[in-house]
Structure 1
Amino acid sequence: MGTTQNQFNVGGMSCSFCAESIKKAYSRTDGVEDVDVSLAHEEVLVRYDDETLSEVELKDTLRDLGYTIRDPDKEKRFEEQQAELTNGKRRLLLAGSASIATAGLMLWMIFVLGRFESTSLAMDLVTLGLALGTMFGPGRYILEKAYNSLRRRIFNQHVLLEAGAFAGLFGGFLGLFVFPEFPTVHFFAVSVFITTYHILSEYTSLLVRTRASQAVQSLLDLRPDTARHVTDDGAVKEVAIDDLEVGDHVRVKPGETIPIDGAVVDGESTVDESVATGESIPEEKQSGGEVIGGSINETGTLLIEVTATGEDAFLNQVAREIEQARAMKPGIIQLADRVLKYFVPGVLTIAVLSFLLWILVPAVVPGTILGTGPQVQTGAFAALAVLVLGYPCALGMATPLALIRGGGKAANRGILMRSSDAFQIFPDVDHVVLDKTGTITVGTPAVSEVVALESDESEVVATAAGAEAFSEHPLADAILEDADERGVEYADPKSFESVTGKGVTATVDGDDVRVGKPDWLTTEGIDLSAATDEIERLQHRGLTVSGIARDGTLVGLVGIGDEIKADAAATIERMIDAGITPVMITGDNERTAEAVAAEVGIDQVMADVLPDEKRDKIGRLQYEGHRVAMVGDGINDAPALTQADIGIAIGAGTDIAIESADIVLMGDRLGGVMDAFEIGTESYRKTRQNLLAAFTFNGVGVAAATTGLVHPVFAMIAMVLSVTAVLANSFGGQLLAGEGVNTDFTVDGENTAIGQEDEATV
């Protein structure tokens, strides 16, 4: 017993102010040693003394604050997110209907009857009913959050909202029973409007987050749930992965994902371990060779003995690394929340001071412009007006609206921005670390160069393709594909033999042909002396070299490597032009890494980096004061993606990498990295403009309200103007340009919509 930790997936967090509330609540709980909250991943990691606290008590704290604890199972968590979205939409429809009805009453009273004050008790009571119905109906959850926050002496946006809402109620009651000249209907209307605005603000944030999760969910399929367990008597049966034990035997067929870590007992095959090791060239596996869970078995059937399960398995070690990286990731406070951190207590303080100003100053110094004797009515009006005008409805909407605009624009370019962090932090990024395999390169072997020694290139390719025609090796596929692209015809071999890990021998058009590693050809009696320089040159480029010999004579060489993406060099140039330093990180040897880096224009290279070292490399750059984005696609990239300030996953990559990222590029186009940077920069600029406009309205309104002369009608007009300004700035130019605000994206040629219908409803 002693220090332990628990991680919870939390629903209901809409901004980093929520994250701060959770941190404060736990920091004031006896037994809690440390807490980390990830808004982007909606997770809370708590380290505590299990002799003082229980897991149930930790969960109760979250529930008391008004948050939900989602099921750790992905399927159930997805269903819970859908339920939250449905509830949010229902609340918004109810509150929105009440707001429309209230606005209708106010407009009828002002423009039809020509009065600012109530005309009848019935109208007062109807508006009161709408206010109470909104606050204690769809807005009840906000009230509960505010109450539980206050109980823990936490002042957040929920507290400020309820202060404004109850101020509206109180002002209305004063008009009903104490001061007839108080604008009763307008004060009750305030309670309706600010509650509705808050529900709208939270719903937009929930909408973006949930729709992003839905899009990611469609990409997730990390590993098989079952494996073919071979029993001692030779029988084969399907068992759950979690039921396997060390020493069990598992059969894996060609094309399948290897479900566990193990050692090959029988069989020969090539295994693509790029998702784990970063190496693009598949590894030859035979009896005694080790395999990694998550790798792809390509050519032969393997019988594997399980060597690690549970926490010792590679995938689970990666998951633990990700958890630790999330917990240690630098906390991000949204710009709006930095303002609200001081704005909330400031508004509450000004409201109290306004009331005291009108009570004390005229009593102590009679005859001033404030009057003679305590001005209770004016002081109450001023304090209530401050609380009403102080609720930052536009301020709360500024970030979500900019996020929706930017998210829709990004989705049109095949980019999924999963969190608002991606918008705020990206403009400050000064280093982008790119994995090599599958990110800068395509991730599959391809013929890069053919060297003809005895004839022309076409004849060399035809000879090699004829020998490799029956081979299932990935390097053979590269040669055959090159032959097809060149339009070279080749004959099928009369005889064929594969020498595992070395090459092939075949009879093609009556000639003895051997294709394989230079060292193996030498042992077969082939003289390579004339090609020594060419072999070294190709290897210096980082290519895998295969020699082609016909009837004992070396006729040519084929250099096979991982082809660089077509837009890689242009993307790197865009980074440099934007003042960003590109860095390549890879598990490949330094020679291969330097060759690829030179071709795309990268000066800084981290080579020979083991899978578990990538996160440390990212952390080192952050320790030096850099803002770092990481781009990757493999299982081995996942902890580094989480550690980075911005994690960017290639959508064609592995599920665990996608799930660990803040941004997902649908497909494999690298140029999306800089597209995301430009969209993020523009969206953050819009956010700052929105916040400036909203804060100006709120700041001027609060200052004016202290005079006791601000009528609620003008408060409502200020509210509408501030929201209109934010909406116009967020979407005005986009709508005028005919872009709309849809959030469609294309994945492998298929169009997918992220919440387009719901956003249109909003």
Structure 2
Amino acid sequence: MTESSTLSRQAESSADAVEPCYHCQLPLPANEIVDGLIDGQRQQFCCQGCRSVAETIHGAGLGGFYDRILEGEQLAPPPELTDALAMYDLEEVQQEFVATGQDASEVHLLVEGVHCAACVWLIENSLRRQPGIEEARVNLSGRKLKVLWDRSRLPLSRMLELLGTLGYKAVPYDPNSAEDSFKKQNRHLLFRMGFAAFAMMNLMWISIALYTGADQGEFRGLFHWVGLALATPTLIYSGYPFFRGAWFSIRNLSPNMDLPIAIGVTITYLYSTYVTFTGSVVGEVYFDTVVNFLFVILVGRYLEAMSKRKALASTQRLLDLQPKVATRLTAGPDGDESELVAIRAIKKGDRVLVKPGERIPVDGIVLEGSSQLDEAMLTGESIPVTKGVGAQVNTGTLNGSGTLVIQVTGLLGESALGQIIHLVEDAQSSRAPIQRLADRVVPWFVMVTLSLALASFIWWWGAGIEQALMVATSVLIITCPCALGMATPMSIAVASGLGARHGILVKNGEVLERLSAIRHFVFDKTGTLTEGRMQLSALVTSNQYWQPDQKVAMDTETAALLRQVAEIEKLSEHPIAAAIVSCAEQQELKPRAISAEQFSSFPGQGVVGVVDGHRWLIGTPDWLRQQQVESNARLEQAATEMDRRGISSIRVACDGRELALIALEDRIREGAKELIDRLKAQGAEITLLSGDRRQTAEAVAEQLGGMEVIAEVLPQDKDRTIAEIQARGHEVVMVGDGVNDAPSLVRADVGIALGSGTDVSIASADIVLLSNDLARVDQAAQLSQRTLRTVRQNIGLSLAYNSIMVPLAMMGLVTPLVAAIFMPISSLTVIGNAARISTLFRRKKA
């Protein structure tokens, strides 16, 4: 149902057609009329396609669609569907644009032919009746259809075929197509604005003539008729969006700002037309006011559209991060061959070559090469990260000086970048509670505006109908609920985009509003306040107390012991073993490839192995006693000190003698203490939640400056602990690593997942942080506070504007033209104030 097909049908229509087609309302061709029986009545159609569509609509019990079409509006004959719809059911094709969840799949479709609320009603109601479809929602302005459905019950091709039978051609949503649609809307707006500008310039000369004495001469009537000739097409063409919006608001019983605008210009135009037709010498014409007003309002609408686009451009900037092409490697007779292909041609399992300075086109695993990647677009961190063989790389990150060969594991829709884009779009289209309140207020606001305009007209009637008309029109125009309606969505949209650029993904606007008021933070210990991996913090022998961070060299005996212990531990997969081997390698004591013999592991107790003929035991003190190993007094004293500080330790024995103690700890994450200090300074309560021993948890809390400690809690009981805190009357922010903390993240009033970026964290958390930088938690809190403050400022600006300007208009101190200038300024002020949120982190860095 495209514009070009409509024009072609009109061109083919015969000039002597007597009535329109029942479905599309286009003229019936003289020689090709198609008859059909609809609800027992014979109707005429311009083609077989229109008859089929009408029969389908009535057969589905959706005949009310035709009652909702505005009189005189034309649809278009149904589009010709491609024969290749079945290809959209192929798994490899759907991977590109269908998101598959646990319960349902989600697809976004761009629908051609959607032109009014009647189309929205028809599409949504017809799809919701289909088995397997859980949700169908149409965005009228973007012609975008979102469907949640069960693919096993309804193939996508059948859904597209159903839309085709209703007269709409749907294809998978492409951001480039949406961008073209936005440009097309702006182009139409510019045309209407240009037409109004042309009429305004010509009417200006007529107005000058009338104001300088021509209104008293013989040419008065001529000038009035010329003004009518210029104002009439301007009102019809340039004013069409306002009349259309006003009509829909009346029909849906939800008055919007288009209604008072349409009433104001219509009354002014009709009065001027009355004076022109009657030739009255008492009244004046205001055609210049009508045209000037429309021009100024259209300029304001255009500036608003551009400002909104700039403020909401974060999603497009994220989309632009994915390259449009990639270099694919394929095996050839003489080795690998490279070819430059469109990113859409890349499939999972393909190998992709990324040269220095290029962006990573897909999510994947490094097969060959090493390089440093700039991951600032994901994590907000500008420090490059080294990636080698086996490392995971993400779409949109910038390659450094090395060349990489990557095996594709995820395309845009399922990549980390794709998940970010999806979350940002959802957040920007969500509605916070304060916004829902504003949305309910706006219709009442419009009704109050109409009442005030009527009261002003009646009050000023005694001063003459012209004065009463001008005052009432000024009141209709000057009042502006637009600013009130945009106060929240613009702020949330800007905040969501800003957060995404700094590695803070906010799921919806409601989260920002809730987070700003919560003052109780609960932190998981392991992986959140600590790094989540064991590190060797001390090695105690009979002769030396060695610590890696003190930069003191090990003596020969201690170095030899660490090497031999590492040669045994490298055969184990335990985190403690990994910490010991890592420390040995850092001290350039790399274990030999094959040295340990007779290796055995005893889970929860320790390991045993033979190196160079000596039998080594590494494990807990109780296990060593069971193996008849004698204790060492110096090591017992060191172990007591470690336990007091909450540090875990194991013992090392060789040939029945205890030789060393190895202390291991999960170190405090960088920035943790600074974060806790800042939150405390802001009056927040802090709780440490951990499954570790209380002694260990309390030691960590002490290092962080002290806080409430809840320790020895099993992972499955963490959400119960959060519920107990909430039962005490506290709203809780839970900060965890996003994997084993999923239940508690869901239970909390606001869940913040730190640094995992996994599907689990995105599903369970309200805010996902894409780096392990704890400063992001504080930044998320600052962002929420700044957003809510901006929303309140915007609402205050809107109310202040109306409380000042409306009384002035009712007093007759504001002309309609001045009102037309000030009304869009109030909306632009709200947009500009919301845009100031984007300076939050910039100023912090400065």
TM-score range, shorter chain: 0.5 to 0.7
Q: How far off its partner does 1:588 sit?
A: 3.1
Q: Does residue 761 of structure 2 align to residue 690 of structure 1?
A: no
Greater C-alpha Rg: 2
Structure 1 CA distance for aligned equivalents of residues 520 and 172 of structure 2: 37
- Counterpart mapping for 1:157-196 below 5 A: 159-168=255-264, 170-171=266-267, 173-174=269-270, 177-178=273-274, 180-181=285-286, 183-189=289-295, 192=298
In structure 2, what is the equivalent of residue 598 of structure 1?
702
Q: Does residue 630 of structure 2 align to residue 527 of structure 1?
A: yes
Q: Match for 2:793: what amino acid? A: Q
CA contact (8 A) 1:336 1:395 kept: no
Deviations 1:296-345 (A, max 9, x none): xxxxxxxxxxxxxxxxxxxxxxxxxxxxxx9xxxx985545545544541
Structure 1 CA distance for aligned equivalents of residues 825 and 493 of structure 2: 20
Q: Match for 1:434: what amino acid? A: F
CA contact (8 A) 2:519 2:683 kept: yes
Given candidates 517, 521, 524, the residue that maps to 1:432 is: 521
In structure 2, what is the equivalent of residue 668 of structure 1?
772
For structure 2, the 5+ residue unaligned runs are 1-102, 110-128, 157-170, 212-223, 276-284, 323-364, 366-425, 547-553
Instruction: Classify the secondary structure of the residue corresponding to 2:256.
Output: helix
For structure 1, the 5+ residue unaligned runs are 1-5, 13-52, 217-255, 257-325, 362-368, 742-762
Q: Match for 2:745: what amino acid? A: L
In structure 1, what is the equivalent of residue 462 of structure 2?
371
Q: How far off its partner does 1:70 sit?
A: 3.2
- Counterpart mapping for 1:185-334 below 5 A: 185-189=291-295, 192=298, 333-334=432-433
CA contact (8 A) 1:449 1:558 kept: yes
CA contact (8 A) 1:447 1:561 kept: yes
CA contact (8 A) 1:466 1:491 kept: yes
In structure 2, what is the equivalent of residue 345 of structure 1?
444
Structure 2 CA distance for aligned equivalents of residues 707 and 11 of structure 1: 51
Structure 2 CA distance for aligned equivalents of residues 197 and 145 of structure 1: 24
Q: How far off its partner does 1:84 sit?
A: 9.3
Instruction: Classify the secondary structure of the residue corresponding to 2:742.
Output: helix
CA contact (8 A) 1:350 1:386 kept: yes
Structure 1 CA distance for aligned equivalents of residues 522 and 269 of structure 2: 61
Q: Match for 1:345: what amino acid? A: W
Structure 2 CA distance for aligned equivalents of residues 73 and 194 of structure 1: 44
In structure 1, what is the equivalent of residue 234 of structure 2?
127
Q: How far off its partner does 1:190 sit?
A: 6.7
Q: In 2 relative to 1, CA 685–83 (structure 1 residues): closer, same or farther, beyond 3 Å?
A: same
Structure 2 CA distance for aligned equivalents of residues 740 and 570 of structure 1: 19
- Counterpart mapping for 1:452-471 below 5 A: 452-453=541-542, 457=546, 458=554, 459=558, 460-471=561-572
Q: In 2 relative to 1, CA 654–543 (structure 1 residues): closer, same or farther, beyond 3 Å?
A: farther
Q: In 2 relative to 1, CA 386–503 (structure 1 residues): closer, same or farther, beyond 3 Å?
A: same
Q: How far off its partner does 1:650 sit?
A: 1.7
- Counterpart mapping for 1:308-707 below 5 A: 333-335=432-434, 338-339=437-438, 341-356=440-455, 358-359=457-458, 371=462, 381-403=470-492, 406-407=495-496, 410-411=499-500, 413-453=502-542, 457=546, 458=554, 459=558, 460-488=561-589, 494-496=595-597, 497-501=599-603, 502-528=605-631, 530=633, 531-539=635-643, 541-707=645-811
Which structure has more RCO (C-alpha within 8 Å, separation ≥ 6)? 1
Deviations 1:541-597 (A, max 9, x none): 554432111121111122323222111111111111122222222333433322222
Q: In 2 relative to 1, CA 8–413 (structure 1 residues): closer, same or farther, beyond 3 Å?
A: closer
Q: How far off its partner does 1:471 sit?
A: 3.1
Q: Match for 2:784: what amino acid? A: G
Instruction: Classify the secondary structure of the residue corresponding to 2:712.
Output: coil
Q: In 2 relative to 1, CA 640–123 (structure 1 residues): closer, same or farther, beyond 3 Å?
A: farther
CA contact (8 A) 1:352 1:383 kept: no
Structure 2 CA distance for aligned equivalents of residues 333 and 734 of structure 1: 19
In structure 2, what is the equivalent of residue 33 of structure 1?
none
What is the percentage of aligned positions where both structures have the same residue? 27
Structure 2 CA distance for aligned equivalents of residues 389 and 429 of structure 1: 39
Instruction: Classify the secondary structure of the residue corresponding to 1:690.
Output: helix
Deviations 1:264-320 (A, max 9, x none): xxxxxxxxxxxxxxxxxxxxxxxxxxxxxxxxxxxxxxxxxxxxxxxxxxxxxxxxx
CA contact (8 A) 2:738 2:764 kept: no
Q: Match for 2:291: what amino acid? A: V
Deviations 1:485-523 (A, max 9, x none): 334465566333131413322233442212123333222
Q: How far off its partner does 1:701 sit?
A: 2.6
The number of residues matched between the two structures is 566
Instruction: Classify the secondary structure of the residue corresponding to 2:565.
Output: helix
Q: Match for 1:678: what amino acid? A: Q
Deviations 1:341-378 (A, max 9, x none): 4454134124224314533x6xxxxxxx7517xx6665
Structure 2 CA distance for aligned equivalents of residues 583 and 634 of structure 1: 17
CA contact (8 A) 2:737 2:755 kept: yes
Q: How far off its partner does 1:176 sit?
A: 5.5
Q: Match for 1:498: what amino acid? A: S
Q: Does residue 821 of structure 2 align to residue 717 of structure 1?
A: yes
CA contact (8 A) 1:631 1:648 kept: yes
Q: Match for 1:181: what amino acid? A: Y
Q: In 2 relative to 1, CA 379–72 (structure 1 residues): closer, same or farther, beyond 3 Å?
A: farther
Q: In 2 relative to 1, CA 61–671 (structure 1 residues): closer, same or farther, beyond 3 Å?
A: closer
Instruction: Classify the secondary structure of the residue corresponding to 1:527.
Output: coil
Q: In 2 relative to 1, CA 654–728 (structure 1 residues): closer, same or farther, beyond 3 Å?
A: closer
Instruction: Classify the secondary structure of the residue corresponding to 1:71.
Output: strand
Structure 1 CA distance for aligned equivalents of residues 685 and 435 of structure 2: 29
CA contact (8 A) 2:135 2:149 kept: no
Deviations 1:50-99 (A, max 9, x none): xxx9999995899999995433689x9x9659489547734652465257
Structure 1 CA distance for aligned equivalents of residues 108 and 261 of structure 2: 25
Q: In 2 relative to 1, CA 660–56 (structure 1 residues): closer, same or farther, beyond 3 Å?
A: same
CA contact (8 A) 1:650 1:658 kept: no
Q: In 2 relative to 1, CA 654–692 (structure 1 residues): closer, same or farther, beyond 3 Å?
A: same
